[in-house]
Amino acid sequence: MTQKYRAAPKDDLIWHGLDSMTLLFHRPSGITHMLADPAPAILEVMQDAALTATEIASRLTASFDVDSDVDAENIVVARLEELSGLGLIARVSG
């Protein structure tokens, strides 16, 4: 079974771009998160779907001109774990 992830519902998040970072206000917790790339891009490509890290990495490649390799996937996995610790994405059983 491969781990899948799903982003927090769209209505729970308010996005605001600053010069070098992205602010995400998470309505249910009232917490403001300040995210650096590629975390905002990961959330953006996930949309409403439950996806594996591999699928997310390939969506990033398609949308953001990122090289798709094992390294990229490892980076995505690390960011997914961080975002899930923040409550911005959830692990779903696949």
Partner 1 sequence: MSEMHQIQLKIGPAAFRIASAWRRPLEELEALYRDFPSPTDNSVDFTVRLEPEKPWRRYIRPSVHIGGDFWLPDAAPLPLAQGLLAAEMGMNLQMALGWRRHLLLHASSVEKDGKALIMTGLSGSGKSTLSAMLAERGWRFMGDEFALLSLDTGSIFPFPRLISLKNQAIAAMQKVVPDSRFGPEMKATPKGDIRHLVPPKAAIDRMDEPARPALLLFPRFGYAPELREMGQSEIFVRLTQASTNYVALGEPGFHALTRFVDKVPARAMDYRSADQAEELIDDLWSKLL
Chain residues binding partner 1 by CB under 8 A are 14, 16, 18-21, 23, 25, 27, 30, 32, 34
46 CB neighbour count, 10 Å cutoff: 21
Nearer to partner 1, 27 or 91 (CB): 27
CB atoms within 10 A of CB 87: 14
Nearest approach, Cβ of residue 17 and partner 1 (Å): 9
**Whose Cβ is closer to partner 1: residue 25's or residue 50's?**
25
Shortest gap between Cβ of 74 and partner 1 (angstroms)? 26
DSSP-assigned states of every residue in 22-86: EEEEETTTTEEEEE-TTHHHHHHHHTT--EEHHHHHHHHHHHH----SHHHHHHHHHHHHHHHHT
Q: Least Å distance between CB 87 and partner 1?
A: 16
Q: Which is nearer to partner 1, 10 or 16 (CB)?
A: 16
